[in-house]
Structure 1
Amino acid sequence: MSDNGTAVAMAFVALFLVGGVISFFKQGLKKGALLLAVLAVLATIAARLWW
């Protein structure tokens, strides 16, 4: 996979995790939502660094 392809894949992972944050928060699982939020931020940073 090219460098841009990896960055795009990481961006999609970040968006998927943001969806999980919203879902967990709606269910009242605040610790899980916090964990997914941290992972989403890390995936966003990884996508930005790979770009």
Structure 2
Amino acid sequence: MFDLVITRVLITKLTLTIEDTVIDSAKKYARQKGKSLCDIVENYLKSILQ
């Protein structure tokens, strides 16, 4: 017998005020890693909240 588990993940948009140079560098970093800037920020936040 199998149990079905459904998990809902809510996604919320967030507006941040960050220096242009920081954003440019972060976008470059994300491109080099093959990830979106959103993924980089989300993973960083998850890592510091654990």
TM-score (norm 1): 0.34
Larger C-alpha radius of gyration, 1 or 2?
A: 2
TM-score (norm 2): 0.35
Instruction: Give the number of the structure whose residues are more often helix, by fraction.
Output: 1
Whose RCO is larger (CA < 8 A, sep 6+)? 1
